[in-house]
Amino acid sequence: MAENVVIVGAVALGAKAACRFKRLRQDANVTIIDKDELISYGGCGIPFYVAGDVSDETELRSTSFHMVRDEKFFLNDKGVIAMTGTEVTKIDRSNKTVHIKKKSGEESDISYDKLVLATGSVPRKLDMPGTSLKNVFNVSNLRDAIAIKKKITRGEVEKAVIIGAGFIGLEMAQALADMWEIETTVIEYFDQVMPGFVSRSISLMAQRCMERNGITFHLEEIVQALEGDEYVTAVKTNKRTLPADMVIMSVGIVPNTILAKEAGIETGPGGHIIVNDRMQTSDPDIYSGGDCVLIKNLVTGKPAYIPLGSMANRQGRVIGTNLAGGDARFKGGVGSFVVKIFEKSLAGAGLSIDIARREGFDAVSIQVAQFDRAHFYPEKEIIYLELVADRKTRTVLGIQGWGGEGSEMVGRINAVAPLIMNKAKVEDVGNLEIAYSPPFASAMDIVNALGNTTENFLDGMYKPMEMEEFVECWKSRDNGDCFFLDCRARADAIPFEEKFPEIWKSIPHDELEKRFNEVPRDKKIILLCNTGIRSYEAQINLAAHGIDDTVSVGSGISGLKDCGIEF
C-alpha cells in the first residue's frame, strides 16, 4: 500500500487517479504535478468552447457545483497537493524520486513510494515548411483553445484551413463555420472523413451534412507547406493553394513518453508505455494510463492505442484503487466514440469494415436504415446503422452509425458495445432487449433489424448492394446489364420511370406478386425502395418466381441521397 504517491500530469487520468486514491486512503500523501497552470479540465469540451456553446474556459475547469479545479480546490476539497507550472524532468527509479523544475527556475527532488505517469500525448508533427508560422495552431490542450478563440473573437479570422478530418478536425471545422461563420476548408490525406473509423458510405453522409452547412472538403490531398512571412497566409497542397489566415493542425497525436523512456520503462515500437491490466508499467511501482499507453483491443486481442477521455477516466480509477492496495483490472476497450456533426451524430464501437479486413477477419458489413422512433410517431427521422461481423464465426466485430440528434444514435451504439466486448454473435444483436415506447424507439428497433438483416445476409436470404456498387452500376447503366426495379409507391417512382424508361420500372411492392412477369430475367435486377425494407421483401418474392439475379440497395434511396449520390 502506498503512503506517498506522486502523479505526473493533472488533466484526465492524473486527476482521477489522485482523487480515487485519496478517497480510499485519507491518511496518505498525494501530489499531482503538471507543467501547465490549467489543470483538470474537460479537454473534450474544447471544440464547444471554441464554438461558443461553452462561453468561458473556466467552465471546462469547474465542477458541476461551479468550483474551479485549481491548486486551492485540490488541496481543500480533495486533500491533494497540486503543483502546477512545474515540470518533471527526470525519474530516478533507484532512489524513487522525480526531479522537478518550476517556472521560476527553482529545482528540487520529490520522493515517491508509487508514481503515476499521466503525461498524455503531443500533437503529431508534419515535416513541412511553415508549421511554426503565427496563427498555425494545434488543438491539443486548453491553451491552444484559448488562443484560437481569442483570434476569432477579435475578428482576425475570415478563412480557416483544418488539416485532418478525424473527429477533432471535424469538431473544430464545425466550431469555426457554424458559430463564427468563418470560411472553413478541411484537407484530408485519405479518401474519406473519419478514415478507419467508419465505412465510406457513413463517412459520406457526415461529409455531405457538413458541406450543406458550408464547409469545404478536399480529400486525397497532401499538404506540402504553410506559406507566409510571419503569419500564415496560405496552405499549399499537391493540388492547390488555399488562402488562410488560420490553420488548425489535427493530424493525430503521439504518446508523450520521453520521461518513461529515459527512465528505462518498457515502451512499444510507437513509444507507447506498456502496462498490464492493473495499469502497472514494467516497474511495478510505476503506473500509467490514458493517452500515453497501449491497451488491449477486445476485438482483436492485440495492443491498441485508443486515446479517449472516457478511457483515461476509467483507467485513472483503476490506478487509484490499486495504489490503495486493491486489485482493480482494466480489461481493454472497443473504442466507442461519438461525434456531433451539426444536428446529427456519427458514432461507433469496435472495428470498421476496412480495419476488420486489415486485421485479417473475413469481415462483412451490413447497413440498414430505419426511423429512430415508431414509424407512426409524428417526430422521427431516418438513421443508419452498420454492423461489421466475421462471416464464418458470425462474431460481431463493430458497429457504426449516422443520424439522430444525439442519444438516438449513441444510445444504440452503447447498447451494442458490450456485446462486441463479449464477442457476441450477430443473433445476439437481433435479440438485444431494447426499451421501447413510440417516442424513443420501435418495437422491432433498428438495432434488432440490423442483427436480423445481417443474419439473413449470412444465411444467403438477403443480397444487398452497397453504395459504391450502386454508383458503378449507375455509371454504366447505358450498357443494358442492369435493370432498376423501384418498389416504392407509384407517385414516388414515376418521375424516375419517366426519366429513364429503358432501365427503370415502377412496380410497387404490393403489386409485385401480380406483375412479376414484367421483370426481365436476362438482366441483373437492382431493387430499390426508400429504406431497403420493401426491396428486401421484393427480393424474396422474386426468388420464389425463379428470379435470382437481384440485389437490394441496402439503405435504399434515402441512404443514396444522404450520401449525396445523384441519379
Nearer to ligand FAD, 53 or 549 (CB): 53
Q: Please, are residues 233 and 217 in contact by the beta-carbon 8 Å criterion?
A: no
Q: Please, are residues 236 and 244 in contact by the beta-carbon 8 Å criterion?
A: no
Task: Extract the C-alpha cell encoding 216.
Answer: 469545404
Q: Which amino acid is at 351?
A: L
CB of 308 to ligand FAD, least distance (A): 3
Report if residue 121 touches ligand FAD, rule: CB under 6 A: yes
Q: Please, are residues 286 and 5 in contact by the beta-carbon 8 Å criterion?
A: no
Part in contact with ligand FAD (CB under 6 A); list of ranges 116-124, 150-158, 379-387, 473-481: 116-124
Query: In 381-455, which ranges are E strands?
Result: 382-390, 396-402
Nearer to ligand FAD, 101 or 524 (CB): 101
> Pattern 63-92, binding to ligand FAD, x per CB under 6 A?
------------------------xx----
Question: Which H helix or E strand runs over 167?
Answer: helix 167-174
What's the CA gap between 552 and 371, in Å, rounded? 19
Report if residue 164 touches ligand FAD, rule: CB under 6 A: no
Report if residue 290 touches ligand FAD, rule: CB under 6 A: yes
Q: Can you name the residues that pair with 338 across neighbouring β-strands?
A: 347
Report if residue 503 touches ligand FAD, rule: CB under 6 A: no
Q: How many residues bind ligand FAD (CB under 6 A)?
A: 32
Report if residue 57 touches ligand FAD, rule: CB under 6 A: no
Reference 307, options 358, 263, 252; nearest CA is 252
Nearer to ligand FAD, 347 or 467 (CB): 347
Instruction: Determine the distance from the C-alpha atom of residue 437 to the mean position of all C-alpha atoms in its chain, rounded to a whole number.
Output: 28
Task: Extract the C-alpha cell encoding 11.
Answer: 488533466
CB of 450 to ligand FAD, least distance (A): 24
What's the CA gap between 304 and 289, in Å, rounded? 13
Please pick, from the candidates 118, 163, 328, 383, the single residue that binds ligand FAD as defined by CB under 6 A: 118
CB of 167 to ligand FAD, least distance (A): 7
Residues 6 or more apart from 53 whose CB is under 8 A from it?
179
Part in contact with ligand FAD (CB under 6 A); list of ranges 42-50, 349-357, 480-488, 496-504: 42-50
Query: Distances from the Cα of 135 to the Cαs of 43, 157, 160, 234, in angstroms?
Result: 21, 9, 10, 11
Residue 247 — φ and ψ, nearest 5°? Answer: -125, 130
What's the CA gap between 300 and 358, in Å, rounded? 11
Alpha helix ranges (H) inside 279-398: 309-323, 353-358
> What would you report as the CA-atom Rg of the chain, rounded to the nearest whole angstrom?
27
Nearer to ligand FAD, 97 or 310 (CB): 310
Q: Please, are residues 337 and 197 in contact by the beta-carbon 8 Å criterion?
A: yes
DSSP string, 70-128: SHHHIIIII--EEE-SEEEEEEETTTTEEEEEETTS-EEEEE-SEEEE---EEEPPP-S
Please pick, from the candidates 24, 44, 304, 489, the single residue that binds ligand FAD as defined by CB under 6 A: 44
Report if residue 43 touches ligand FAD, rule: CB under 6 A: yes
Nearer to ligand FAD, 137 or 484 (CB): 137
Identify the three-state secondary structure at position 286: strand
Identify the three-state secondary structure at position 216: strand
497-505 contact pairs (CB < 8 A, 24+): 503/477
Q: Please, are residues 225 and 198 in contact by the beta-carbon 8 Å criterion?
A: no
Report if residue 291 touches ligand FAD, rule: CB under 6 A: yes
Please pick, from the candidates 2, 28, 33, 416, the single residue that binds ligand FAD as defined by CB under 6 A: 33
Nearer to ligand FAD, 201 or 256 (CB): 256
Report if residue 119 touches ligand FAD, rule: CB under 6 A: yes
Report if residue 142 touches ligand FAD, rule: CB under 6 A: no
Report if residue 178 touches ligand FAD, rule: CB under 6 A: no
Site for ligand FAD in 298-337 (CB under 6 A): 307-310, 312
CB of 141 to ligand FAD, least distance (A): 6
* Distance separating the N- and C-terminal Cα atoms of the chain: 67
Part in contact with ligand FAD (CB under 6 A); list of ranges 40-48, 154-162, 462-470, 540-548: 40-48
Place of cell 475547469: 61
Please pick, from the candidates 13, 28, 205, 529, the single residue that binds ligand FAD as defined by CB under 6 A: 13
Report if residue 398 touches ligand FAD, rule: CB under 6 A: no
Please pick, from the candidates 6, 18, 82, 168, the single residue that binds ligand FAD as defined by CB under 6 A: 168
Q: How many residues does the chain have?
A: 567
Report if residue 525 touches ligand FAD, rule: CB under 6 A: no
Please pick, from the candidates 184, 199, 203, 256, the single residue that binds ligand FAD as defined by CB under 6 A: 256
Query: Strand 524-528 vs strand 223-227: parallel, antiparallel, or unpaired?
Result: unpaired
Report if residue 294 touches ligand FAD, rule: CB under 6 A: no
Part in contact with ligand FAD (CB under 6 A); list of ranges 38-46, 233-241, 352-360, 439-447: 38-46
Nearer to ligand FAD, 191 or 405 (CB): 405
In the complex, the residues that contact ligand FAD under the rule CB under 6 A are 8-9, 11-14, 33-36, 43-44, 46-47, 87-88, 118-121, 139-140, 168, 256, 259, 290-291, 307-310, 312
